[in-house]
Amino acid sequence: MGYELSGFDGKVAVVTGAGRMRSIGRPIALALARAGCDVVLTGSGKPPAAFPEDERRAGWRDIESVADEIRSLGRRALPVVSDVRDAQAVETLGERVLAEFGRVDFVVNNAGSTRGSDRVPALDLPLAEWQRVLGTNLDGTFYMSRCFARHMVAGGRGGAIVNISSIAGRNLQPRTAAYATSKAAIDALGTVLAGELGASGIRVNSVAPGMIDTSRMDDLPRGEVWDRIVRSHIPLRRAGTGEDIAHMVVFLCSDQASWITGQTFYVDGGHGHAPRG
């Protein structure tokens, strides 16, 4: 028998930002379902006209499509349109999850701000862009963690929170003031929460992806430009996939990771180290 991760049967996972077809959230949700979890999926409820072109061609239905995939694996799925930037909406989500499933075991804070006009020098950064990015990335992670950790503590069964941050929080590149600050703060928040929640058996870790091939990166053309960036920045010579991140998330939720908390794991193909050969 091969080596298997354990600790998922009968468990309930909540994954935010899970509606995109080419993404990180969808593979995480599907991987947790394959491991044995029932899954709550949240998304922002954007209109189909705002979907990427390949999703429109495929008749994609956001979190409803992901929910169908999870049900096809024999697990329960609950898709909920919810805004992580709204503390009261998060509290309502928590109440609904408890009403539907009676428990929550894993929370994956994956919802993130879209790449927009925040990628400018800090002195030129509009306040609205700063607030948009911090509101989704940092406030949303805090609201979700606070709400669901309270339910985990009350349930007395422990659990795991996994925050999706970014190598941007380590690299701290120019023109990323809002994004890099939000991701560095997410890592800091996770470490603080790990210290506070450990006595209740709740583990908190961050996964920091590198360059992942998702629709979120579609403003960067695939082809020569994309390939040149990959070759010059990633020793493993390929961009990552949502599945690469999902594997780490599932491990951090498993029994086998029961003595790991307060850490940030960089899943980036070696990004930041000079390629060899």
Output the 3-class SS for the chain.
Answer: CCCCCCCCCCCEEEECCCCCCCCCHHHHHHHHHHHCCEEEEEECCCCHHHCCHHHHHHCCCCHHHHHHHHHHCCCCEEEEECCCCCHHHHHHHHHHHHHHHCCCCEEEECCCCCCCCCCCCHHHCCHHHHHHHHHHHHHHHHHHHHHHHHHHHHHCCCEEEEEECCCHHHHCCCCCHHHHHHHHHHHHHHHHHHHHHHHHCEEEEEEEECCECCHHHCCCCCCHHHHHHHHHHCCCCCCECHHHHHHHHHHHHCHHHCCCCCCEEEECCCCCCCCCC
Give me the active site residues, please.
179
